Structure 1
């Protein structure tokens, strides 16, 4: 009797322990794929809303799924066209590392029309 009871207890304990696999850190591949898909769509939608090109989104987010980024970008593009929404230009973007800061325009006194009309050099 005790010989049959021990294996039954072991099986019952294993069933209870394996029932909580999500708590052990074992992830479901379907859930992980769904999360990556949703993140890619969110990234693509945000890139389109900010007026960024699709290729720039790919470069800025190399770990995201390109198909999901494209789907999100396309969905946001259709939404923005349907609702006549303009792209929001990000104003907190830092300049690239090698770029020069733009030179401020020289101040011209109010009475000096000749200096104000002179063309500036393109740089």
Structure 2
């Protein structure tokens, strides 16, 4: 894996709804970020791929099964490598069309839900 603070992690998540509980700075958000990257090819917290690589590692790898497909994302300082069912995918749009939909809402997005209409209009504009 070598993603953020994790050298290796394996999770089996099934069924609806999961809650991650733990002390601060233990990797809860990094786990969610890895899922987000696997499904959206975007980190909600990092602008560059190299920011996601665990310190001392040359790259990272994330894989998982979603919507009946095995997805794999490998990252290094040059960018991302993508595979679906073991087949190399060259275009991000092709990967994204097969990977399903995920929405990230962080603490900074709560105003969209709790706040007045002005913040929602600004977001949609």
Please report the TM-score for the alignment, with normalisation by the length of structure 2: 0.28
Please report the TM-score for the alignment, with normalisation by the length of structure 1: 0.29
**Structure (1/2) with the larger strand percentage:** 2
**Structure (1/2) with the larger helix percentage:** 1
